[in-house]
A and B are shown apart, each in its own frame.
Chain A
Amino acid sequence: MLIALPLVALIVRVPWTNFWSSLSSDTATTALFLSARTSLISTSLAIITGLPLAWLLAHRNFRGIAVVRALCVLPMVLPPVVGGVALLYAFGTKGLIGSALDNWWGIRLAFTQTAAILAQYFVAVPFFIVVMESAFQQFDQRLAQAARTLGAGPWRAFITVTLPVVRPALIAGVVLTWARALGEFGATITFAGNTPGRTQTLPLAIYTAFESGDDQALVLSFIMMAVSFVVLVLLRQHWISALKRGGQ
């Protein structure tokens, strides 16, 4: 009830007569494209870096693995704005790495679209790692070993045997990670700033519109709610099949 009420209240207040004109305005379309683009890139980065990390955590035991695991999961429990401040003090021009990047190569990351992507990556990759580590742990290694005995290299065994088996979890992980990246606000506004056309993703655009008393905030909020709803529907099927396969 407590969850449904605010959502219903939002839907009821959406200005339906202005819906399409609001949605097709410059600020809205810019924010939509920007969000789509940055979340796609950050999710791809999460997949590329997350898969090997998840595999490592699932199958190797080395000293300090608990620390590595904790670090991987940390951004998930860290308040997003803290993530943003941390990223700023790492990569801003006065930051640990940022000052070197700026002084030696003239690279400035903070307050750019790259920063927005980095912020999303930082908060979203833990979701992917957690889901995939669990999937890899549940995966019966003997299947891959069977492929190896038949002559497949480790890489081929991974692609043709392991991945298809963990596919439900992979899809669930990707969708969850993407949804988190799409919804990222605190780290983005702190590390990337709020510039339309460059870093103003959908959540930032909603906040800015809300701050100016603009009804567009309701329209865009509704869009995000619809996207979240679709995500949940997609996830449900795969979580169920992943649960069914678990332990097999």
Chain B
Amino acid sequence: MNLRRHVGRAAICCVVVTALLPACTTRQSQGSNNSSKDLVLNVLASASLAQVFTRIAEAFESEFQDISITTTFAGSATLVTQLKNGAPMDIVALADTMSMDKLSSAGLISAQNSQVFATNTMTIVVPRANPGKITGLLDLTNTSLDVVLCAPTQPCGVYAQQILKNANLNVSVKSLETSVSGVVSKVSTGQADAGIAYTTDAIASVKTVDAVPIPESQNIVAHYPIARGSHLSPSSQQAANAFIAFVVGATGARILTDLGFVLP
């Protein structure tokens, strides 16, 4: 009984200490050293920008030591919903211009300061070694194969549907994912035989997926806009402008093209 009491008390102390600790520590960011006086920029970006924006944020933070970036990645439609419901945002980067227009109509960004900073195309992704022996879009109609796509409510889903329409094909789907990361993870872990994802996703996950190209005639071009939130404080505005300039500038362009994005 005594031992249990002591263990119980020790456990309570541990929990209390770990709970209070964050109050003493600083805001976590992607591996940088920052003080609590840092200006924090909330960057919301589509799931397909996860790898590239993580790199860009790291490069930006090492150049601008007093700004720290907090990133949130999700499907573009999810981000729009979150923003309409009051999610804090300084910068938003989405996978299609239609979603950005929705934000503009809601007054969350100002249409003039939105600009397209990158373009992307789509590709069929398959697990390494292509067990389903997929050679093109036509193979996706094979009902014995498990195909995953993005939900049509997300830009990547809209694009995938467009591609299938261009190719005049009907595909029965095993799962509709809420973001392209879901598609890539199901394919890379072998739970699906194929999926349609962005070309950049295939490059970012080159160790775990193979790509089967989609002919240009049937493919789409995704335009990625970036914008600054409206109603930012002057210091946040300045920092946000600096971030956007960084993304469209030389360093950002290099990181984008390294990961397979095509500049507009």
Q: Is A26 an interface residue (CB 8 A)?
A: yes
A245 to B29 CA separation, bound complex (whole angstroms) = 50
Q: A197–B208 Cα gap in the complex (Å)?
A: 28
Given the complex, which residues of B lie within 8 Å of A131, measured CB to CB?
none
Find out whether the CB atom of B182 lies under 8 angstroms from the CB atom of A26.
no
Q: B86 contacts A33, CB within 8 Å?
A: no
Are B71 and A196 closer than 8 Å at their CB atoms? yes
A88-115 vs B, CB cutoff 8 Å, 1 = contact: the mask equals 1000111100100010000011111000
Q: Mark A28-59, 1 if CB is under 8 A from B, else 0.
A: 00101110110011000000000000000000
- Scan B50-75; emit 1 where CB is below 8 A from any A CB, else 0: 10000000000000000000111010
A92 to B84, CA, bound (A): 9
- B19: which of A37, A93, A94, A237 is its contact (CB, 8 Å)? A37
A210 within 8 A of B: yes
A-side interface size class: 20 to 34
CB distance from B187 to the nearest CB of A (A): 9
In the bound complex, what is the Cα–Cα distance between A93 and B87 (angstroms)? 9
Among A184-210, those with CB < 8 Å from B are: 193-198, 210
In the bound complex, residues from chain B placing their C-beta under 8 Å from that of A94 are 84-86
Shortest C-beta distance, A135 to chain B (Å), equals 19
Question: Is A213's beta carbon under 8 Å from chain B?
Answer: yes
Residue of B nearest to A34 (CB): B22
Residue among A33, A95, A213 making CB contact with B184, cutoff 8 Å: A213
**Smallest CB separation, A240 vs chain B (Å):** 13
Question: Could you tell me the distance in whole angstroms from the C-beta of B70 to the nearest C-beta in chain A?
Answer: 6
**Which parts of B1-31 form the interface with A (CB within 8 Å)?**
4, 8, 15-16, 18-22, 25, 27-31
**Residue B189 at the A interface, CB < 8 A?**
yes
* Most chain A beta-carbon contacts within 10 A, residue among B19, B29, B71: B19
Enumerate 7 A-B pairs (CB-CB under 8 Å) in ascending A order: A36-B15, A40-B16, A110-B87, A111-B85, A196-B28, A196-B72, A212-B184
Residues of B whose CB lies within 8 Å of any CB of A are: 4, 8, 15-16, 18-22, 25, 27-31, 50, 70-72, 74, 82, 84-88, 179, 181-182, 184-185, 188-189, 205, 208
